[in-house]
Structure 1
């Protein structure tokens, strides 16, 4: 069916690039010189990600607490031809202004036919996990707070019908996380971004009861947990000489692992109304994973410390939503997943995005899908889950 004009595209996974003064304008004076700031490279800087390698001259990079982080735009290449795609622009003037300017982003969304979007961070990493590596926990907490204030002040408040309010938390301290939610409660935050597998970052897993105080608050306030793939800091590297394409092809397995963790954990039994969105994880794998999970549960639950009464597939269809950019297999098998479990993503400004042709691509993907189901997938499922009705 055609993508009808009354259907508004709602993207549940886009990204913004923080402008140079996000933290300079918001951190206390004592932290401004060591907080995140943009510097011009001379060729003598050492890449904190690059195993001691030098950063080339003439780049704009982030500096935090004396360390250099050169991934300025994190693949912010929207609008470039395929043969010009790379891993990272190195200066702001190499990006579309919509990457870092909210007014320009709204204009780019209008060009693309996207009415609303949920935005993930870039420099702090998608769940703010970079700040968890700081030895100065007060600086880390204030950096989280500054990012939340930035998106509230510059993105959510000026454009209340275009951007779904999402926050990041100092997840390494649950009391501080809840305090941050309380601090920004007046802004009706609809979702938060958490690591897909905190155990890989050195924190308790979802199988523990550690996260219960935070989950209780999120459930009570109907705040959705976004688990964006890659937030665990883990990628599938099959061999040292495998090209990056192998790792990129396997990123969805991170979401498969997070789903398996949650389905066999106590989380959804303790918090039956907690909602989880598998950001950028794809959906085509979901029918197989649910079939496999139910089989394991049927045959092996009696000798393991897992729930004995509720099938994993029932938990999925009550508590988890899958998200995709392009996933023809998932669309074709939508009834095995649940039409009400599917949501669409644009992924602007990353290289997987089809900006400015999103409506065309979605229409081609959904050409054999009934109109009412298309509308659910591209708009109404997201509006219902994130409590984000049309203006």
Structure 2
């Protein structure tokens, strides 16, 4: 049966494509020459330049309006995208067509968690870019339709004190969530087990803002074989050396198709969740909330059961909390979301109906736009109306503190 008319869909995971003026309109003049700017390359593609690096928009980042037969990895021009990818007014019109009330939109060019700015050679420029993106996200994108966009921010993760200051600044501006790496280690940052993040977790607790852990935001993507995995952050020096000796034909022959990583994307957030459950940080920061963005939900009951099994047998000789069951921490601190996860919905009582949200993923390749409301209704056909309402709207409004206007 269709979703009831009073049920508004809130997507906890959408994406925006930054338009060419996001940074040139906001950065101080001294940063414009080295700061992010769109350039047309020799193939007439639109690519971002920042310092001496080039970042194209890959085709799968903006496939809204295309059929699967038209998907591809080639770099894009803005002409190749429908305006809803980069124009918030057009996005609202696309959401109306899709039957979606509101969306939380993650970055594209900076990386889902802002890692591009973290790697800036000029850290003053990197900080200015973080602030410029946040001002764009909160003031321009979300500000264009405050009842339709959940304001999201990123942080200057290379410096905890700067991150604390920026979190307080964006909280005052109205940010409702912050994108944080699903695994800080591949970025050269302290792990979830480190107390280094403590001052930042304190502010998340004080403000009530949930931490959004988006698949791939820590730069690691699972599933690629041979050369691709060898060149990934964190790969051993020896493995990278072997890879560089292979010629292009040999590398291409040994690589897995990217579809392997699309199948395995939820494993990133399985790792993140297990890591956090045994980190000790949830006991030190009982008010922390984590949204697992673009990770599915079907795996959550298994991880809860497995974590408890391991905890019962291995907590005696390791620095693991002796008294708190991991499944209890999972139930208290984590929310998940899905696009089309029938297995997860069948096990919703094991997950917690109040811990499940939906995602649309516009304009990425998993998105069902412009048929999202129909698709979500089909997944919930056997779910009671009160539970369906929680899943599509109420849970997201509560965790993001994003009430109806």
**TM-score (normalizing by structure 2):** 0.91
Distance in 2, matches of 1:181 and 1:197, equals 19
Q: State the partner residue of 2:136.
A: 150
**SS of corresponding position for 2:394:** helix
**SS of corresponding position for 1:130:** helix
Q: State the partner residue of 2:284.
A: 270
2:242 paired with 1:256: no
Q: State the partner residue of 1:11.
A: 11
- Cα-to-partner distance string for 1:71-130 (whole Å, 9 max, x where unaligned): 256521012112111235510011010111010000000110100110100000001011
Distance in 1, matches of 2:333 and 2:170, equals 25
Distance in 1, matches of 2:305 and 2:209, equals 28
Contact 1:62 1:72 in 2 (8 A): no
Which one is further off, 241-250 or 305-314? 241-250
Distance in 1, matches of 2:16 and 2:2, equals 30
**Match 2:297 to one of 267, 283, 304:** 283
**SS of corresponding position for 1:247:** helix
Distance in 2, matches of 1:168 and 1:335, equals 33
| 1:86-235 alignment, distance < 5 Å | 86-88=72-74, 90-235=76-221
Distance in 2, matches of 1:30 and 1:270, equals 42
Q: State the partner residue of 2:246.
A: none
Distance in 2, matches of 1:222 and 1:175, equals 19
Shift of 1:28: 0.8
Which one is further off, 231-240 or 360-369? 231-240
Contact 2:59 2:71 in 1 (8 A): no
Q: How many residues align?
A: 377
Q: State the partner residue of 2:360.
A: 346
Shift of 1:190: 1.3
Distance in 1, matches of 2:224 and 2:144, equals 45
Q: State the partner residue of 1:317.
A: 331
Distance in 1, matches of 2:263 and 2:130, equals 31
**SS of corresponding position for 1:277:** strand
Q: Which runs of 5+ in 1 are unaligned?
A: 43-56
Contact 1:76 1:89 in 2 (8 A): no
Shift of 1:151: 1.5
Contact 1:73 1:122 in 2 (8 A): no
**Match 1:362 to one of 370, 376, 383:** 376
2:368 paired with 1:382: no
Contact 1:174 1:213 in 2 (8 A): yes
Q: State the partner residue of 2:346.
A: 332
Distance in 2, matches of 1:134 and 1:108, equals 34
Distance in 2, matches of 1:15 and 1:144, equals 17
Shift of 1:232: 1.3
Q: Which runs of 5+ in 2 are unaligned?
A: 227-254
Shift of 1:10: 0.2
Contact 1:16 1:100 in 2 (8 A): yes
**SS of corresponding position for 1:140:** helix
Q: State the partner residue of 2:29.
A: 29
**SS of corresponding position for 1:321:** strand
Q: State the partner residue of 2:248.
A: none
Distance in 1, matches of 2:269 and 2:168, equals 29
Contact 1:11 1:116 in 2 (8 A): yes
**TM-score (normalizing by structure 1):** 0.94
Distance in 1, matches of 2:167 and 2:222, equals 33
Runs of 4+ in 1 over 4 A off after TM superposition: none
Contact 1:26 1:146 in 2 (8 A): yes
2:56 paired with 1:70: yes
Q: State the partner residue of 2:242.
A: none
**SS of corresponding position for 1:227:** strand
Contact 2:60 2:365 in 1 (8 A): no
